[in-house]
Structure formats: structure tokens, C-alpha cells
Structure 1
Amino acid sequence: MPPSNTPAKYRQIADHLRQGILDGTYPAGQPLPSEEVLAKQFGVTRPTVRQGIAELRAAGLVEVMMGRGMFVRSPHSRPSLTRPRGVRREPDGRYVEADGLRWESAEEPTATRTDAPLALADLLRIPPGEPMYTYAGLETAERGRLRQLHSTYVPFSVLLDTKYETEAPPPAPFLYTALAELGHELHFTEYLRTRMPLPDQAQALRLPDGVPVLHIVRVTLDQSGKPLALEQFHVPGDDLELSYPLDVGGR
């Protein structure tokens, strides 16, 4: 019997490739052996090879390019996907995401009533526990290749004396049009940080072990700076960069 401390096959593959990357056998920017070659070399299935590659991706040593294969990541290489962030208004009055992607909900969005937790209440400048309309779900784009978790929160107090006092407002981005029709001039602020996903988030986003998520919080404000709504986005952070326009301030 093999020693009990023998590494699992996927870890042997990861260690073999990691050593080759570090000693220059596989230079930056060069392709790695294919899944088929590695599977034959180690006598394993291709899913086992992918598990080993996932460790290297999580460590930032490898990038996988769709249709091209696996490559050693250069410290100067760009991610394979750049997504502009922001909201723009079309000539017909619709609000759309700046990335131009057509995001579709995996399930029909349904509004639920939730009470504002402390962190969200602070950003929305409402008392903790205030009721909110909430939408939350998985969204996909480009035929399911891109995935994100997207939640929308609208405090009840924002909707007092409007038609949405007795009916749920639409989720974002349709929410923006609804708020504009109520007479608000909309402005947006985003907060961005990285963190490790919760297990259910990793499963929904199909993340390999060790891959972080980008956690984006967007606050919609009126012309006076009062928060009207809040959104949370969780997107895979392994091979993605976000671009933001910067406004030049002035007197």
C-alpha cells in the first residue's frame, strides 16, 4: 500500500507544474501541457487535471484562455476579461450597464420583504431593521459563460407617497427608470473589495477552491445625495479586471 501521506493526484499535478513554472521549464506566457497530455502522464482523468490546474489559477500562476489552452501567467499580463463599470442612460430613457452585456436572470426575480442589516442600513442612511423590498438571484451573460450574483434593496421609506407604497418596484436596472419617473435625478457610487466567497456563492458562480470574489456595492442617490437604493454584485475575481471612468473635479 502507498504511504498514507502520499499527495492526492491532483496535488501531484499542481506541484509538478508549479515547480516547472518556478524553475523556468514553463516560461511566462508559454502554454502548459494540455489536459489530455497531463491525464496520460499521471494516469488520471481530465477532471482530476482540472482540479490541479484550479490550484494554480487560484495562486495566480496560470490562466486559461477559452479555445487556446492553459498558459503560464506573466506578472505583466492583462486579465482575459475587462468589464467597464457604470450606468449610462440611452436616448430612449432606459438605463443600462456600461459593460454592454445582456444579463439574464436564472429565475424570474421576485420581491421579498427583508429588514435592513446594520451594514446596509449604514450605507442607505436608514435605521437598522427598516423593511426593504429585496431582489436576489443569479444572472448569466454570453450564453452562461459569465455569471454574477446580483441583489437589489429598496427601503420602504424611499417609496412613501408613491405608487410603490403598495406594490413592489422593479429590480435594477429597471428600478432606475422607475426612480427617475418619480422625479429623482440619479447619481451612483460604487464600493469595491475582494473576499473569499461563502460556500453557496462559490457553488453558484462555479468557482474553483481558493478563488476570491469581487464584492461590489452600488448605491443609487438623488440629486441631494440621499440614498435611494443599494445593489450588491458578487463576481468571480480570478481573471477579471474592472475599469471605471474618473470624473475630474472642479470648482
Structure 2
Amino acid sequence: MPPEKALAKYRQIADHLRAGILDGTYPAGQPLPSEDALAKRFGVTRPTVRQAVAELRANGLVEVMMGRGMFVRSPHGRPSLTRPRGLRREPDGRYAEADGLRWSDAEEPVATRTDAPLPLADLLRIPPGEPMYTYQGLQTADRGRLRQLHSTYVPFSALIGTKYEEQAPPPAPHLYEALAELGHQLHFTEYLRTRMPLPDQAQALRLPEGVPLLHILRVALTDADKPLALEEFQLPGDDLELSYHL
């Protein structure tokens, strides 16, 4: 039999630190050895240590505090940020996110025409390639500390016979007010998963290497369960939990 392939150095360091965190050698809230100390101990470079730490951050076991170092997080600990999910309709007809955050667009949203890819077409129950009005951009909140990538997709077929047949509707959440004005009673379904970001997404969200993002698709449906629009959120997944009221 061929010999087993040796573990990469960063993986060896990550496994060692993970075992120490789980058995209490490195207690929750306490600092880990510095990058220099770990590099010297394992005979590696600091970038290799950072790669190991990125894996532990993705596991939720390590928190890096700028200027202070690396600190242990309990595997049972809560993230520093909890965001309620859902929409509520205000008395004036506006739709607002349940988390109450005020998001600002990094750039003015501009509608473009795109063709529906298969995964989105499946959720919207339209043929793949059907044209859609699409808004995509980066949003920030809390003076830039919080970041998310936000997209709105509206199939052309959902707007036939309305004033938006020849002009783009607004992006969400104002889109939902526009749909309500057209006489639709709306409800929503969300689909949530994690995945690793593409390089440009990691850069926009300032994600360290090895940290996943939370990918949320929200479908707006009529009271007859016909999909009208889809909203997409991509959020940092390293120190965030989402709560749902059921």
C-alpha cells in the first residue's frame, strides 16, 4: 500500500490547537501563543500559522482581536452578533427588516438586465434564461462595521400588464411596497446555507482566508404561492448567528 500522505503543516498546527482548546489546555477567553511563538515551535513561517488560525476561526474556536492577539472561544459560546431574520410591515406600508439595522448602499443601485441562471429560475419557477431586472451591490451598517452583499431579482414575466413592464421596479425592500400597491398579498420563504466565498466576495466582505459566508435566498410569493421576486444576502459567517421567530 502507498504510504499515507503527511498532513500539511498548517493542518498539523490547527489540529494541535483544536485539541488543546477542546481538552481545556487553552481555556476559553485566554490568549493563544503568539504567531511568532507558534512559528518557532513548529518550525514554520508566520503565514503558515495564519493559515492554521484561519481554519480555527472558521470553526468558531478562535477570535483575533486587532492589536491584542488570538483568543480562544468556547465551542459552545455565542457569536458576538445575533441578527433576527424576517420582514415586518409598518403602519405606513413600508417593509422593514426584523433586525432593525439601517443599511446604506456603497453605490447607488442600478437595475441591469440579466438572464435567470438555473438555480434562481428553479426557485422563481421560470424558464432558465428568462430576463430579469437585477440589482446587485455592497451594503454597510453600523458605520461600516457590518457588511453584506445584497441582490434583488425580478422576472420580467412577473411584471406583465403592470407599469413596471417598461420600467424597472425599485430594489427590495421598496420592491415589496411596489408589489403590494399592485394588489399582491405577500409572504416570504428563506433558504439558508453556508459556502466558501469567491475571491471578490471575500474581499468585499473583508473575510479572512478560510472563513465561510452565510448565503440567504428570500423568495417573495403571492397568497397563491406564485413567486414574484427573489432577494439574495451574502453575509460574513465567522461571528454571526441568525435568529428566526417561528
Category of TM-score, reference length = shorter chain: 0.7 to 0.9
- Asked if 1:74 corresponds to 2:70, the answer is no
Whether the 8 Å contact between 2:83 and 2:240 is mirrored in structure 1 is: yes
Aligned: 1:207 with 2:204: no
Please say if residues 38 and 49 of structure 1, whose CA atoms lie closer than 8 Å, have aligned partners that are also in contact: no
Query: What SS does structure 2 have at the residue aligned with 1:24?
Result: coil
- Aligned pair in 2 of structure 1 residues 38, 91: CA closer, same or farther (>3 Å)? same
Alignment of 1:1-251 (within 5 A): 18=18, 20-21=20-21, 24-27=24-27, 29-32=28-31, 38=34, 41=37, 53-64=53-64, 70-246=70-246
Residue 65 of structure 1 deviates from its aligned partner by 6.5
**1:26-79 CA distances to partner (integer Å, 9 max, x unpaired)?**
21x22215xxx8367569xx9998666433212332134789874312122111
Q: 8 Å contact 2:105–2:137 — kept in the other structure? A: yes
- The alignment of Structure 1 onto Structure 2 pairs a total of residues equal to 236
TM-score normalised to structure 2 length: 0.83
Provide the secondary structure at the position in 2 that maps to 1:177: helix
Q: Distance in 1 between matches of 2:124 and 2:228?
A: 7
Measure how far apart 1:128 and its partner are. 1.4
- Give the match's secondary structure for 2:34: helix
* % same residue: 79
Calculate the TM-score normalised by the size of structure 1.
0.82
Q: 1:65–1:80: 8 Å Cα contact kept in structure 2?
A: no
Specify the code of the residue in structure 1 equivalent to 2:31: L
Could you tell me which runs of 5 or more consecutive residues in structure 1 were left unpaired when the two chains were aligned: 1-6, 247-251
Q: CA deviation at 1:241?
A: 1.0
The 1-side partners of 2:94 and 2:65 are apart by: 34
Query: Is residue 63–residue 73 contact of structure 2 (8 Å, CA) maintained in 1?
Result: yes
When the two chains are superposed, the root-mean-square deviation of aligned CA atoms in Å is 2.9
Determine the C-alpha separation between the residues in 2 that align with 1:126 and 1:16. Answer: 50
1:4 aligns with none
CA shift in 2, pair 1:67/1:100, >3 Å:
farther
- Taking a change above 3 Å as real, the CA distance of residues 11 and 145 of structure 1, as seen in their structure-2 partners, is farther
**Residue by residue, what CA displacement relative to the aligned partner does 1:170-199 show, whole Å, maximum 9, x if unpaired?**
000111111111111111000111111111
Matches of 2:117 and 2:143, distance apart in 1: 34
1:148-188 deviation digits (Å, cap 9, x = unpaired): 11110001111111111111100001111111111111110
Q: Which amino acid aligns with 2:187?
A: H
**Shift in alpha-carbon separation, 1:49–1:102, aligned structure 2, 3 A:** farther
Amino acid aligned to 1:38: S
Residue deviations 1:87-129, cap 9 Å, x none? 0011111101111111111111110001111111111111111
For 1:125 and 1:68, locate their aligned partners in 2 and report how far apart those are by CA, in whole Å: 50
Long gaps (5+) in structure 2: 1-7, 41-45
Distance across 1 between alignment mates of 2:81 and 2:134: 29
